[in-house]
Structure 1
Amino acid sequence: MLAGRGQLVHIDRDEHGVMEVIDDQFTRSLYFGTAARQSSMSHADPVTLVLSYTRAMLAGLLFQPRPREILIIGLGGGSLLRFLAHHYPRADITVVEYRQAVIDIARRFFRLPDQPRIRILHEDATGFIHNPAQPLYDLILVDAFDAAGLHPGIACEHFLQACQQRLRQGGLIALNLWNTDKISCRAHIRCFENALRQRSLRLPVESRNNLIVFGAPHLERLPSRRALQATVPALKQQLGLDFAYLHRQLRRHNTLPLQWLFN
């Protein structure tokens, strides 16, 4: 248990480890037996994205602002699902989570939306992504962590190649990496870039140990600066996220001009 983190609401355990739901004054959070918050939900506004890394993962909407088919790998407390289901009411959303206990906790304690267009599947993502019967996606968000870090099958080249093959024309992949172990993080980035046969966009998350990498393999070049600047205020008005800041951070942390990354 995590002393001093707030009020323990629920504790459970499966073959993969401990899961704790803890409330403080403002948020409800999911922990996997460590000090790292896996997911947080605001008591006052469950749709808002509390953790900065979830907001960073959606920087990819700059390049794919109108996803119709969304795949989320890793449920946690459902932050990305709640946000996207609310702001994209016509999108079909599939979530793949390999721990049934996490799905049960998220449903019970984290106000998951329950709509016909939303599928939450208890399945190993490596098997799911290789199934040719699954649809093509406009946006794939890979956020699959447990207490030990990134799920070992997720950042391998074979899995990421299969993700690339499940993208619709103009689709984009965002992968959440844990940036503490620099050697492993660099290896994951190499696998990502080898799988997609391109450079990635990299977005470190300030004040956290996350690094988000993006790839859009069907684009020959990214939109111009002027086109992106036109998109920024529209997305901010629609979603309430600071896309101007995310845009600046993408340019700051990617030294080549964005238009060159996909040549």
Structure 2
Amino acid sequence: MTRIVDDILQTLLDRDPPGQEIHREADEYGDIIVAEHKQYRILRFDDLYEQSKMNMRSPEVPIHHYIQAMLMAISWQEEGDVLLLGLGGGSLLRALHAYNPVRRLDVVELRPRVLAVARSYFTLPDTNCVNYHIDDAERYLRQAQGRGYGVIFSDLYSAFSMSPLQGTEAFLERCRDALCDGGWLVLNYLEMPHDQTLLYHALYRVFTDVFFCETGSGNVVIYASRATNAYRLKALRTQAMRLSRDGVAEVGHLARYLTRL
């Protein structure tokens, strides 16, 4: 019952009213909408669902719980460059850059206008350590084989659904081949892949260790590693708690739900 209550409260906290629209445009993929509600600035690709949210008083602090859950992986692998597939409003990017301003971050975004709007309205870092690429995620990964990323974050969504690319074995293999030994792939996924699903079996064919965290807001974050030595769940939870102590993100309530898949 406690977990159900936690989930409901997190969902309510994650969502604000649509707010006052301050910018709207469209590209070949659909609408790009920016709205404000109180101290929050919100990016949407339709008139209902939030793609990204920023507290204008502290832009580097992630609001959505799935972003906080994704961030846990940086406490497990602090070496190597980081790749972000999908930008949105840059919530994950701002938090990563604030945590380590000198770590190299490669950001891949399909839509040029999303990047332009994010730069104009969402305080993206402008530094030589952050490299923005307008590209298709699959094409970028084909060129990044052997790149040795420490962490790859994949958050590929349109207005209404997750990109099906994220659930394919070929995509998982390309991510694995772009990671260093001990690196992590972090997926923002729609649902927990049970042991009868194709994704579950694909994850264990491609990676050696797989964990997940249900965020309480409908998403599940999946963490997959190609490490040669198995990770211990308790150690991962303890390491993740450092982010709360360091003021990066309040992940204590999420680290408790980190589980081996």
TM-score band (shorter)? 0.7 to 0.9
CA positional deviation for 1:34? 4.4
Aligned residues: 244
Unaligned runs of 5+ in 1: 255-260
1:145-224, aligned counterparts within 5 Å? 145-179=157-191, 186-196=197-207, 198=208, 200-206=210-216, 208-223=217-232
CA, structure 1 residues 222+105, in 2 after alignment: closer, same or farther (shift >3 Å)?
Answer: same
Retained in 2: the 8 A contact 1:205–1:212? yes
Would you say 1:74 and 2:74 are equivalent positions?
no
Structure 1 stretch displaced more, 47-56 or 4-13: 4-13
Check whether the contact 2:145–2:177 (CA below 8 A) recurs between aligned residues. Answer: no
Gaps of 5+ in 2: 1-16
Deviation string for 1:151-196 (max 9, x for gaps)? Answer: 232321111101001111211111001239x89x944444433333
Identity of aligned residues (%): 27
Q: In structure 2, what is the Cα distance between the partners aligned to 1:175 and 1:40?
A: 19
Q: CA separation in 1, counterparts of 2:246 and 2:142? A: 34
Equivalent AA in structure 2 for residue 203 of structure 1: C
Distance apart, 1:148 and its partner CA: 3.0
Q: Is the 8 A contact 2:209 2:227 kept in 1?
A: no
Tell me which residue corresponds to 2:6.
none
Name the counterpart of 1:5.
18
- Matching residue of 1:257: none
Normalised TM-score (structure 2)? 0.85
Does the C-alpha gap of structure 1 residues 153 and 217 become closer, same or farther in structure 2, counting only changes over 3 Å? same
Give, in angstroms, the shift of residue 95 of structure 1. Answer: 0.4
> How is 1:96-135 mapped onto 2 (pairs within 5 angstroms)?
96-132=108-144, 135=147
Contact kept, 8 Å, 1:46 with 1:82, in 2: the verdict is: yes
Higher relative contact order (CA 8 A, sep 6+): 2
Asked if the contact 1:97/1:123 (under 8 Å) is kept, the reply is yes
Is 2:36 aligned against 1:23? yes
Q: CA RMSD in A?
A: 2.4
Who is 1:46 aligned against? Answer: 59
From 227, 234, 253, the counterpart of 1:245: 253
TM-score between the two structures when normalised by the length of structure 1: 0.84
3-state SS of paired residue (2:68):
helix
> Alignment partner for residue 48 of structure 2, among 35, 41, 45?
35
- Runs of 4+ off more than 6 Å: none
- The change in CA–CA distance for 1:233 and 1:68 in structure 2 (over 3 A counts) is same
Aligned to 1:58, what secondary structure does the other structure show? helix
